[in-house]
Structure 1
């Protein structure tokens, strides 16, 4: 089978799975294998195989013996989308203002397990990669925002993420040694912001800072990025202060109340 044929087969299977999920409604929360097969005009064997895959992912669950219903994973997905949209909408004015001030690309990300998810961006026309980064999921060890998040997590938690996700080399500058990166994370925590010295994209530089949620936990980060090496050089002080101030405003909008004794990132904007 050629790559084109494999992609076509995958797309068809995905389409069938989506159509299957759409069959369920408030009026008909439960359907049998026979009903699903009939409505989708698919053989029972094919229907059962797709159902089995969806059940394994928690998107559909088997109830009452022979009936099927939407699974709890659907609720988790919809909740994640709602939360992401709420955070994006609250942060967007600060991201736009920061981009205007810096004259560079600004990115808003959320922690998603052991990776980061880009949910909003104001991107410069000078960006090296033409397409937008929004929607991308990236590792933490080689991105400015990822390192900012790691640097404000307990060390054991940061190590756990790096052990699970690995530290693959993305560019010649990517840090792939655990202890070297842990030392840098301690420095990030002390100064409050991170550097990305072409570690994820050759010729791209950025400063990153964390965003905190209402419970004081690190939930994401924001970064200023561009092709100017002085972003992590002569301009780093000015840009990092503006970045940290914006991240503090975003965090406050999300219900974060800074402690009376500032730590890490927000010590720079007392």
Structure 2
């Protein structure tokens, strides 16, 4: 499967954050922000924002003299023994926080072995998850998640997916023409959230943004009931701004 990547802002943030973490790890007794800026080449303003995020996520800690050392979350993710469990817990914690700050159900999805898979999500009684009335694996053409994942593949991989999954009409707004869908995917800028405005389910709107770590294709998504559709763009932008910690967890 070939990928069609154009790195997004969260990707660049995650790459910079990894550089900071590698530098902190090299200085086992602690390193100041001034030295970090010099060794990473990252400007102080950007570095301050990255350190704030890394502290919040538990990847770095500040010791009494103000220097930075590696944090407990990094130690857990770095340990081979329970990495998978640690990663699930870390991502769930990030999703729960995103759900509360965005005020919507939040999902992580990945494209695995030619199929769309929602791997984790965070919802609540006030921010309910989408009712999966048609299996997400067979409705990629109609969901923000599916379209975002397909959008990160190359043309042949998209055609292969659509050849294996008939494009059923789920609502009056569903795109059922593969030519039209392929054209929409081709013209979708990678930095702009993909929207689903009642294409999968009447009464529900969704938005998704790509999160691509290495050769793995993934996305973050939100769903809202139709009466909150006016908040969708704002929720998608917040999701995009907060995608870096998710990418970072996947990359460590």
Structures share a fold, TM > 0.5? yes
Number of equivalences: 170
Instruction: Rate the CA distance shift 1:168–1:87 in 2: closer, same or farther, 3 A.
Output: farther
1:160 is displaced (CA, Å) by: 1.6
Specify the alignment match of 1:172 in structure 2.
172
SS in 2 for 1:235: helix
Instruction: Rate the CA distance shift 1:97–1:188 in 2: closer, same or farther, 3 A.
Output: farther
Specify the alignment match of 2:14 in structure 1.
none
CA distance in 2, matches of 1:255, 1:130: 28
4+ runs of 1 displaced by more than 4 Å? 82-87, 126-133, 135-138
1:196 is displaced (CA, Å) by: 0.8
CA distance in 2, matches of 1:83, 1:164: 34
Specify the alignment match of 2:29 in structure 1.
none
Task: Flag the structure with larger Rg.
Answer: 1
1:123 is displaced (CA, Å) by: 1.7
CA RMSD after TM alignment: 3.1
Query: Tell me, which stretches of 5 or more residues in structure 2 are unaligned?
Result: 1-81
Instruction: Rate the CA distance shift 1:83–1:140 in 2: closer, same or farther, 3 A.
Output: farther
Specify the alignment match of 2:193 in structure 1.
193
1:247 is displaced (CA, Å) by: 2.6
Instruction: Rate the CA distance shift 1:130–1:202 in 2: closer, same or farther, 3 A.
Output: closer
Specify the alignment match of 1:244 in structure 2.
240
Instruction: Rate the CA distance shift 1:174–1:114 in 2: closer, same or farther, 3 A.
Output: farther
Instruction: Rate the CA distance shift 1:105–1:221 in 2: closer, same or farther, 3 A.
Output: same
Instruction: Rate the CA distance shift 1:180–1:132 in 2: closer, same or farther, 3 A.
Output: closer
Specify the alignment match of 2:221 in structure 1.
223
CA distance in 1, matches of 2:183, 2:227: 23
Segment drifting more, 237-246 vs 147-156: 237-246
Deviations 1:199-242 (A, max 9, x none): 111111010112212x2x343222110113554xx434422221
Normalised TM-score (structure 2): 0.57
Q: Answer yes or no: is the 8 Å Cα contact 1:114–1:139 preserved in 2.
A: no
Specify the alignment match of 2:181 in structure 1.
181
Normalised TM-score (structure 1): 0.54
Q: Answer yes or no: is the 8 Å Cα contact 1:204–1:228 preserved in 2.
A: yes
Higher relative contact order (CA 8 A, sep 6+): 2
CA distance in 1, matches of 2:157, 2:116: 15
